[in-house]
Every structure is written in C-alpha cells, then in structure tokens.
Chain A
Amino acid sequence: MRALTKVFSSGIFAAARGSRGVQRGMLVTGLILTAFFVLMALLAPLIAPYGFAQLQIGKTYFGSQQPPSAKHLLGTTVGGMDVLSRVLWGSQTALLVIIFAVAMSIFAGVILGLVSGYFGGWLDRVLVVVADAVFAFPSLLLAIAMSIVISGGRSGLFSGILATSASITAVYIPQYFRVIRAEALRCKTEAFVESARVIGASHVRIMFQHIYKNSTRTLPLIMTLNASEAILTLAGLGFLGFGIDPTMGAEWGYDLNRSVADVSAGIWWTSVFPGLAIVLVVLGITLVGESLNDLADPRLRSRGAANLDEQEIAEVVPNA
C-alpha cells in the first residue's frame, strides 16, 4: 500500500510539473475539487448547521419543503430535513464508500491478477472468462444483486457503507485483475524474475516483491476511475432505494430519489444541491484521472509538451 501511495503522489507531482495550458488547468481544477470534497467530509460534523436526520429544534419542526431562507440556507426536504446539512454529511458517506470500495477492489484484484498472470494454466483461463463476463455485465444490476444479498436492501450507516462498497468491489475487481494480470505476464519473462528464481526466492516473494512492484504504473488511473464510478454506483443504488437508511446517514442518491415528485411541483432545491454535489465530486476525481492518462500517453500530451526529447518520454512511460 505504501508503495502505491508513493507511486500515486509522485505521479501527480510529476504530472503537475510536466503539464501545460489546458491540461494543467484540468489537473489543478480536479485537485482543488477533490481536496475540497475531502475537507468537506472531514469537517462535516463541525460545519453542518444541523444533524443529517434532525427534524426540529426544541419543539419547533423545520417544516417540509421550505424554500431556502436564512435559517435553512438550501431549504428543507420533503421529509423536513435541512438540505445543506444533508449535502455536507453526505460527503462523509461518499468518502467512506470510496475508501472501502477502492481498497477492497485493489486488494482482491491485485492478488487474483498476480496469481493468474504468474501461474497461468487452467486457473488463469477460468478467471479470465469470469472476469470478462462480469466486466460486460451492467454494473448497476450486479451491484443491486450484491446489495440485496449483503444487506437485504436498506441498512444502517456502517453496514450500509460496507454493503455498498462490497457491491462496487464485485463490479471493479475485473478491471484491476485485467491490468495486473497483463503486467504480471509481461514481467514474468524478464531477467530479474529469472534471477530471483535462480537464487531461490519463493513464488510468493517473486509475485509480491518483484512483479507487484513493477506493475503499479497504471493503478493510479484505474483508482480514479474506480473512485468516481463508486460514487455514481452509490448514488444509483440510493436512487433505487438500496442505500443507507436516512435516519442512519445522509446519502445523495436517496435524497434525489425523494425529490423526484418535488421536481414536477417546481421545488428545485431538494434535487439541485445533492445532484450538484455528486457532479462536482465525480468531476474533480475524473479530471485528475484524465490528466494523468493524457500525460502518460505521448500521443495525447499537449503540443507544448510534445517536443520532449526521448529521455523525458522514457521518464513518463517507465519500462517503455
């Protein structure tokens, strides 16, 4: 994991230095949006004016579908909760889901990919066919099936977060699996693996020491994709009523589901704000990922950066 964070952060800094013009703008915007989202999630308990399920102060109820006012800056929902507070608390749920989902998918995907690529044989063939089948399947449907099994639908904050993350994990394992397997296939014929074997290194050591550390170059890109897909899947599940119970935690997709009827009545504040929150977070993470991808692909790098000499290109694409 430490090696991974190192690759990720050094990748971002190298990217920020190497980028220019539009691409630098995209990367910096993405980083700012993402940082803002993480801060919002960390500080939610301090900056949210009310609790995510709070309905009243003392004996006075907030009231249902109140338009934005000084007391409720973004209005109240149909259930009589403060929209601003739910948007802020919702970022916490989203961040937790991202962390769990990405960590679990990397863990499972990397191990399966290494074993499959390194040993090959019938296990490899079976895993590849299974991964392809899962990969081609509509991800939301798979996530729905998983969440029915794990939590039977609705659940509390922590179990809900775990259930959603596990559903997303099931969908994203194939992506990590494919990439790591391909890298393992590439690495295992290299001289350094051969030499490790000659001096008697075990299979486990070769896989996790020698091959794994040489296959992390594409992981940051998949991680950003995985993180933004995780938010969209979480919101999709919430929108279909398979999210986290509203009294247990705030979740943007659930709030949007409750606002469908409001929209026809012209009540816009219950849907626009949670929706914007999703868009900005996904946008931020995607911009970071896009920029990393462009900078790693010499064909797509901006023209300003395109007349690098060979040495620099070799630096951006290691082992090229």
Chain B
Amino acid sequence: MKLGFIKSPLLRYLVVRFLLIFPTIFILVSMVFFVMRAIGDPITAALGGRLSPAQLAARIHSAGYDRPVLTQYIDYLGQIARGDFGRTLTTNQSIGEVLATYGMATVELTVYSVIVALVVGIPLGMLAAHRRDTKTDASARIFGILAYATPVFFVGLLLKLVFGVLLPILPIAGRASLTDELLISSVPGATGFYLIDALRTGDPALILDVLGHAVLPALTLGLLTAGVFMRLVRTNMIGTLNNDYVDAARSRGVSEYRLVTKHAYRPALIPVITVVGMQIAVLLSGAVLTETTFEWKGLGFELAHFLSARDFVAVQGIVALLAVVVAVTNFLVDVLAAIIDPRIKY
C-alpha cells in the first residue's frame, strides 16, 4: 500500500497499521471457526447423550449446523462483522451478555496485575543493571527466571497455602465477601469494576474487603509479568548505561543514582510500552488460569466453566472475542510507541 496522498509519514503508518487490524482479526476468527468445526457440530458435543437422536437432529437443523460448512462460515463472518459472537448452548446467553457480566472482572484483575508487574519489575531491573554481575544482580535475575518458570496456578496455590492456611490473613477465593458482593452489585450504575463501585459507596469496610480479595490474584498474575519486565529493563539499561552521553554525565560528576534514575532510564523504558502490549496475550492466558485458581468470576473463569460443560459455541465466541481484543490492543500499543519514540521506523 503506497497511500501517496497522505503526506505525513507518521499518519501514513498509522493508517496502514489500522487497516492491518482487519486481516489479523479475519485470520484468527477463521482459524477458530475451522478448528472448532473440525470436531463436528457443537450441539452433539454439548448435548449428545442427553437428548434423543430425533431431538438432536431437530436442534442441529434449527441452528443451521446441517448446512455446508462454507455457508456456515460466510454466515459466521457476517455475524462477527455485525458484532454478534453467537449464543451459548448451555445457558442460552449471547456472548455479548457474557462479556457484559464477566468482562469487567477480568479487566480489573489485569489492571491490578499490570500495576504489580510495573512496580516490582522496573525498579528490580534498574537495580540489577546498576549492580551488574553482583549478588544483587544474580538474585534479581533468578527471580526473573523463577517468575517465568513457575506456572501461574502453582504460584496461586502456594500463595493460597501461605496466606490462606498457614497465616490466614487474606481471603483466598472470590472477588468480595458474599454480603459485600450483593452490596456492591446493587450500587446504582454499577460499573462491575468492584474497586470503583466500592469507592463510590465510600464505605471503608467495603473498600478494604474488595482490596483484600484482590491481593493474592493480583500478585499471582502480576509476578508472572514482573519477571519479563525486570529482564527487559535490565537488558536495555545495560545498553543505555554504556552510551557516551552517560559517560559524559558521569565525568561531569553526576551521581550514580541520578545516572540510573534520570539519564539512562528513559530510553530503557520505551521498549517496556511495546512489551506491555505484547504481554496482553500472556496476561489473558494467565488470567484464565488465575481466575480458575481463585474462583475470580471473570471471562477466564467462565471460559474454563464452558470448557468443562463442553459448550464449544460459547468457547468459540469467547475466543473470537478475545482475538478482537488482542488485535485492537496491539494496534493501540503500536500507535503509542510510534508517537512516543521518534526512532521507530515506519
């Protein structure tokens, strides 16, 4: 694509990058469709054995699964283009409703864990780069590798063991205590983001309860990504600390602390933005496992629930929806990176 009529190269890049979202979504949605259709029709998978063959055939016919796959595919693409991701078989909700009910819980968990990851990962990475090849550096790197090597659900189980059983100071399941959950969801105009809703009631007990429930899941999912950030910041920081301008600053008598926190840190942080975006995919995989471990009723928890109920229409809908989320997030991150970093070639 030349798009010669757009003069600004940045704008041209943004337009091309925006247009690229569509083939990406198209490829992922098609892949999910054909992969899921390869097992036969989803109605037999979910309800086979529970209905008589005649009833099954009637359900299959009314849902249109006896038509040629290609017709179904074109239909499905049309549906997706209108923003309709289908209806679940077992609970007969639209995927849109599932998203409205559970989506915010996943957003809340993801926000918390990105905060944990940045707060833990960036300072650790800076420290490790500054004290390169010392014991501090080695411990920070071992932390980074361990954070990657430990499956999220095992971190979750360990935290549950330590803070829920050995030192029972934190709740280990759910998003809030039962009574508080009722209070929060009855707040007028509830957003579903429990902390925001709790803050709006202004009840300190409620806020503490919501925060307490969030600590362990947020740590679990956050530590996974903290390791990635730590390694990234360390590597980039080592690169920037070797630059001439850092040497120049050092020879002017700038303190080591100021060198790390002011001079070397900005260029080292730009890649973090790109990686936060790439981590969205990792975070979503992790959210499914974290939510299952902590009974955090979000999209991932629901996905696991639909999987065990063999409701593959729901699974297909949620997975396709997440594909859209991932494609759009990656676009936004690329835009942000292009605007912030003048060195990016477009």
Residues of A within 8 A of B (CB): 21-22, 25-26, 129-130, 132-134, 136-141, 144-146, 148-149, 152-153, 228, 232, 235-236, 239-242, 253, 256, 259-260, 263-264, 266, 268, 271-272, 275, 278-279, 282-283, 286-287, 290, 299-300, 302-303
A137→B281 contact, CB < 8 A: yes
Across the two chains, which residue of chain B brings its CB closest to A236? B289
Looking at the assembled complex, report how far the CB atom of A166 sits from the nearest CB atom of chain B, in whole angstroms: 12
Distance A278 CA – B133 CA, assembled complex (angstroms): 28
Looking at the assembled complex, report how far the CB atom of A300 sits from the nearest CB atom of chain B, in whole angstroms: 7
Distance A272 CA – B166 CA, assembled complex (angstroms): 14
Distance A278 CA – B293 CA, assembled complex (angstroms): 17
Interface centre among A21, A141, A153 (most CB of B within 10 A): A141
Looking at the assembled complex, report how far the CB atom of A58 sits from the nearest CB atom of chain B, in whole angstroms: 34
Distance A136 CA – B288 CA, assembled complex (angstroms): 17
B133→A133 contact, CB < 8 A: no
Distance A148 CA – B32 CA, assembled complex (angstroms): 11
B319→A271 contact, CB < 8 A: no
| 24 A-B contacts (beta carbon < 8 Å) | A22-B141, A132-B24, A136-B326, A139-B281, A139-B285, A140-B288, A141-B319, A145-B32, A145-B319, A148-B36, A148-B39, A149-B39, A236-B151, A239-B151, A240-B288, A240-B289, A240-B304, A241-B307, A241-B308, A266-B161, A272-B161, A279-B146, A279-B149, A282-B150
Q: Is chain B's interface secondary structure helix, strand, loop, or mixed overall?
A: helix
Contact with B242, one of A137, A279, A299 (Cβ below 8 angstroms) = A299
Distance A260 CA – B160 CA, assembled complex (angstroms): 9
B292→A240 contact, CB < 8 A: yes
Residues of B within 8 A of A (CB): 20, 23-24, 27-28, 31-32, 35-36, 38-39, 45, 132-133, 137-138, 141, 145-146, 148-151, 153-154, 157-158, 160-161, 164-165, 172-173, 235, 238-239, 242, 278, 281-282, 284-285, 288-289, 292-293, 304, 307-308, 310, 312, 315, 319, 322-323, 326-327, 330
A140 partner residues in chain B, CB cutoff 8 A: 285, 288-289
Distance A136 CA – B138 CA, assembled complex (angstroms): 31
B27→A133 contact, CB < 8 A: yes
Distance A148 CA – B161 CA, assembled complex (angstroms): 32
Interface centre among B138, B150, B151, B304 (most CB of A within 10 A): B151
Q: A283-B146, A299-B239 are in contact. List 6 more A-B contacts (CB 8 A).
A: A141-B288, A239-B292, A241-B308, A263-B160, A271-B154, A300-B235
B28→A137 contact, CB < 8 A: yes
A286→B151 contact, CB < 8 A: no
Across the two chains, which residue of chain A brings its CB closest to B327? A136
Distance A219 CA – B208 CA, assembled complex (angstroms): 50
Distance A299 CA – B236 CA, assembled complex (angstroms): 10
B284→A279 contact, CB < 8 A: no
B32→A133 contact, CB < 8 A: no
Contact with B154, one of A132, A240, A279, A303 (Cβ below 8 angstroms) = A279
Distance A302 CA – B134 CA, assembled complex (angstroms): 11
Distance A239 CA – B285 CA, assembled complex (angstroms): 13
Distance A67 CA – B87 CA, assembled complex (angstroms): 46
Distance A146 CA – B39 CA, assembled complex (angstroms): 10
B145→A283 contact, CB < 8 A: yes
A256→B153 contact, CB < 8 A: yes
Contact with B165, one of A139, A228, A256, A263 (Cβ below 8 angstroms) = A263
Across the two chains, which residue of chain B brings its CB closest to A151? B39
A141→B285 contact, CB < 8 A: yes
A152 partner residues in chain B, CB cutoff 8 A: 39, 45
Distance A278 CA – B137 CA, assembled complex (angstroms): 25
A236 partner residues in chain B, CB cutoff 8 A: 151, 153, 285, 289
Looking at the assembled complex, report how far the CB atom of A94 sits from the nearest CB atom of chain B, in whole angstroms: 12
A130→B27 contact, CB < 8 A: yes
A26 partner residues in chain B, CB cutoff 8 A: 141
